[in-house]
């Protein structure tokens, strides 16, 4: 039986009809993980995953069980799972074993989904290529000489290469959307506060948000439904009611498509698209034409303060990172240097040896912008401009229901191409960081490939807590362009 390419609902039906067992399904994915070890998508593969699946089979899967029961998935290795190693791809946490479950992990366990393992990432989620890992870089399965995107590169590759059915990453400035775009996946960066951050290793607390990745829109909706919603363990989660987006897609939307196609989509001014490659701009036009044929209206929107977004983002994100990472001191937990003459050198040696180059760079930048002499000149001013960027989005949404723009100015680039120039690497996030600064949701979807066969991704940006509009639009795009979705990476297909 061909498992690759099937959706979660299709697999769930097979499990309930006893045409396949969860043990067989999980074993299939574990075998593929071993076969594609060179992609370096996983840091830790859970040896007991097959046993957990066997126990699920023994108890049986009933028709009224949650749809994810018995379905395998992966988690980015900055999300705590009780009794499992959580490294954040850093030497400083190389041997850290979590003592409790993150809310994400708990909700997935309660659903009956089976965790295959923890995926590779840029160290402490700091990067755009998944090359900054203590455990080595993640390779793009569409072209192994190219990067996977970051920081959630391992999560994206695990789905794109058929090493998990779905996965989760964290998006601080594009870290779910960028790797999903580079790997031909659908993904969601939810509204800030829609998904709990409890048990997620903090990078920049006012920006971090967990988001799912999948090969199609219905799988994405299911993966989002199971983890979203208020959590008493995270005071930043919203108490707003939420509905099942999967049920909405399969039950309600079919009768209401005519209403949806009367919506208006905003397109940023051409000047804001500077730096995007010809292939990316061509893909944007193709997506626009497709939506236009479906009946959507378009309006040009302006973001006067978007030119400052990248600078504002890197001031805020490094400042918050500097504060959050101060807990790694070689005393409480994590790596400790062997030789140190006094307490001061214990701190500096443990952190200097335990953190990689990019993490050290961001800690130093963050410490600088938070320092007494420079706080007002940098961090305080960036916070004010962040408010202006949020207001730009609010004004744009007075004219439209959602905004369409590329995820990245380019397709996946070659390994090592940008590692020597941090500023060039940071520009990879130019179309994504503003979404995090404004705390609005963004749904990324695959929009074909370039001439070399590398995936291109677009994103639909929505109003606060209006994920429903994004899903309904993406659902209709998928119906019109099914060839953009449900793809397994080319090199992974060849090595089945």
H helical segments located in 96-170 = 103-111, 153-160
Q: Say how many CA atoms lie within 13 Å of 225 toward its Cβ.
A: 19
The burial class, CB within 10 Å (0-12 / 13-18 / 19+), for 293 is: exposed
| Average pLDDT of the chain to the nearest whole number | 95
- pTM more than 0.95: yes
Q: State yes or no: is 175 an active-site residue.
A: yes
The full set of domain ranges for the chain reads 9-262+399-494
Q: What is the per-residue pLDDT for 495?
A: 56
Q: What is the per-residue pLDDT for 184?
A: 98
Coil, helix or strand for 401?
Answer: coil
| Catalytic, out of 130, 160, 175, 349 | 175
| Catalytic, out of 22, 76, 152, 408 | 76
Q: Which residues pair with 118 in a beta bridge?
A: 44, 75
Q: State yes or no: is 380 an active-site residue.
A: no
User: Degrees (nearest 5) of the Cα angle 224, 226, 228?
Assistant: 60
d(CA 293, CA 282): 17
d(CA 272, CA 444): 19
d(CA 138, CA 132): 9
Q: Say how many CA atoms lie within 13 Å of 77 toward its Cβ.
A: 38
Q: What is the per-residue pLDDT for 20?
A: 97
Q: State yes or no: is 399 an active-site residue.
A: no
d(CA 422, CA 314): 12
CATH number of 9-262+399-494: 3.90.1300.10
| Catalytic, out of 151, 152, 402, 428 | 151
Q: What is the per-residue pLDDT for 418?
A: 96
pLDDT in tens, the chain (496 residues): 789 999 999 999 999 999 999 999 999 999 999 999 999 999 999 989 999 999 999 999 999 999 999 999 999 999 999 999 999 999 999 999 999 999 999 999 999 999 999 999 999 999 999 999 999 999 999 999 999 999 999 999 999 999 999 999 999 999 999 999 999 999 999 999 999 999 999 999 999 999 999 999 999 999 999 999 999 999 999 999 888 999 999 887 665 655 665 799 999 998 889 889 999 999 999 999 999 999 999 999 999 999 999 999 999 999 999 999 999 999 989 999 999 999 999 999 999 999 999 999 999 999 999 999 999 999 999 999 999 999 999 999 999 999 999 999 999 999 999 999 999 999 999 999 999 999 999 999 999 999 999 999 999 999 999 999 999 999 999 999 999 999 999 776 665 4
């Amino acid at each position: 039986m061909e498992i690759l390419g099937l959706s979660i609902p299709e697999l769930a039906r097979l499990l309930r009809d006893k045409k396949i067992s969860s043990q067989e399904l999980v074993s299939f994915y574990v075998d593929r993980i071993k076969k594609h070890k060179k992609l370096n998508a996983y840091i830790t593969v859970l040896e007991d995953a097959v046993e957990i699946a066997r126990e699920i089979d023994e108890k049986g899967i009933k028709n009224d069980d949650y749809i994810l029961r018995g379905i395998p998935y992966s988690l980015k290795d900055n999300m705590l799972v009780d009794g499992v190693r959580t490294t954040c791809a850093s030497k400083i946490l190389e041997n850290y074993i979590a003592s409790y479950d993150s809310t994400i992990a708990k909700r997935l366990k309660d659903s009956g989904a089976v965790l295959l393992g923890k995926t590779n990432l840029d160290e402490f989620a700091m990067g755009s290529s998944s090359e900054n890992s203590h455990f080595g870089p993640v390779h793009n399965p569409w072209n192994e000489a190219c990067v996977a995107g970051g920081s959630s590169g391992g999560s994206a590759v695990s789905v794109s290469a058929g090493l998990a059915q779905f996965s989760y990453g964290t998006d601080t400035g594009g870290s779910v959307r960028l790797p999903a775009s580079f790997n031909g996946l659908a993904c969601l960066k939810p509204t800030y506060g829609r998904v709990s951050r409890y048990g997620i290793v903090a990078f920049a607390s006012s920006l971090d948000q967990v988001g799912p990745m999948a090969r199609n829109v219905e799988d994405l909706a299911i993966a989002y439904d199971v983890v979203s919603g208020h959590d008493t363990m995270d005071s930043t989660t919203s108490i707003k009611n939420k509905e099942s987006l999967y049920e909405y897609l399969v039950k309600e939307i079919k009768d209401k498509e005519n209403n949806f196609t009367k919506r208006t989509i905003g397109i940023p001014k051409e000047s804001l698209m500077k730096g995007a490659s010809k292939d990316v701009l061509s893909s944007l036009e193709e997506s626009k034409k497709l939506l236009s044929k479906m009946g959507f209206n378009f309006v040009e929107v302006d973001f006067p303060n978007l030119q400052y977004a990248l600078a504002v983002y890197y001031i805020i994100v490094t400042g918050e990172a500097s504060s959050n990472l101060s807990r790694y001191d070689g005393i409480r937990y994590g790596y400790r240097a062997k030789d140190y003459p006094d307490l001061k050198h214990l701190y500096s040696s443990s952190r200097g040896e335990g953190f990689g180059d990019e993490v050290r760079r961001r800690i130093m930048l963050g410490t600088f912008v938070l320092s007494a002499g420079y706080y007002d000149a940098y961090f305080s001013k960036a916070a004010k401009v962040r408010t202006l960027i949020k207001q730009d989005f609010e004004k744009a949404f007075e004219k439209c229901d959602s905004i369409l723009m590329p995820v990245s100015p380019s397709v996946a680039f070659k390994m090592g191409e940008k590692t020597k120039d941090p500023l060039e690497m940071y520009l990879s996030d130019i179309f994504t960081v503003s979404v995090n600064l404004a705390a609005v949701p963004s749904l990324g979807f695959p929009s074909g490939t370039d001439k070399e066969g590398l995936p291109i991704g677009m994103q639909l940006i929505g109003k606060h807590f209006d994920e429903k509009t994004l899903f309904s639009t993406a659902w209709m795009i998928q119906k019109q362009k099914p060839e953009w979705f449900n793809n397994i990476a080319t090199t992974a297909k060849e090595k089945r």
